[in-house]
Amino acid sequence: MRLRLLPLLAPPLAFAFAALASCSLFEDEEEKPVESATKPTLVGRVASVQEKSGFVLIESYGPWKVPDGGLLSGIGNEGRTSNLVSTGEKLGQFSAADIRSGVAKVGDSVYYRPVKEEKETGNSVETPGPSQPTQELETKTNAGGSPSTP
C-alpha cells in the first residue's frame, strides 16, 4: 500500500519544495545604513609626544586626508582624551599636530571628524536697504502756536 501512495504524493511534494526554495528569491532588499558625512574616522596613532613644544607626531594608517587645521581627537586606553589640530607638516607616514587641550600619550588612537559646512540657503541675513524717511509726529497746535492740551 505504501508503494501505491508514493506516485500520488511525488508531484505535490516536488511542488512544495520548489515553492519553498523560490521564496528566497523574493527577499526584501535591506537598506544599507547611510554613512554620516561627519562620522569620525580612525586616521592613526600618536607615535611621539613633545610636551614642551606642545605637539605630537601621528603615524598615519593609510593616506593622510586630514586638511591643514583639521580637528583631531586623541583617545587613550584609560579614557584620556586630547584635542589636536593638524599643522599640515608631513614627512612620510608621520604628520604633526598641535595639542590644544588634554593629555596625549604615545599609542593613543587619533580620530578625524570632518566639519559639516552649512549651506548658505536659509541662514543668510538680509541687509536693510536705504531706509524710508520717517514721518515726524505732528502735534496739534492752538491758533497761538502753543501745543494744545486735552
Fold held by 41-112: Thrombin, subunit H (2.40.10)
End-to-end Cα, the chain, rounded Å: 121
Give the pLDDT confidence score for residue 79 in this predicted structure: 87
Q: Summarize the confidence of residues 101-122 as an average pLDDT.
A: 82
The answer to whether residue 17 scores a pLDDT higher than 60 is yes
Residue 89 vs residues 56, 60, 74, 79, 125: alpha-carbon distances, Å: 11, 13, 18, 28, 38
Q: Summarize the confidence of residues 89-117 as an average pLDDT.
A: 91
Identify which of 1-15, 42-56, 129-143 has the greatest average pLDDT.
42-56
What are the sequence ranges of the domains in the chain? 41-112
8 A C-beta contact, residue 72 and residue 101: no
The answer to whether residue 124 scores a pLDDT higher than 90 is no
Return phi, psi of residue 80, to 5°: -70, 145
Give the pLDDT confidence score for residue 83 in this predicted structure: 95
DSSP 3-state of 56: strand
Pick from 37, 55, 46, 38: nearest CA to 74: 46
In which band, very low, low, confident or very high, does the pLDDT at 75 lie, cut at 50, 70 and 90?
very high
The answer to whether residue 144 scores a pLDDT higher than 70 is no
8 A C-beta contact, residue 72 and residue 64: no
Portion of the chain with pLDDT greater than 70, in percent:
56
The answer to whether residue 57 scores a pLDDT higher than 70 is yes
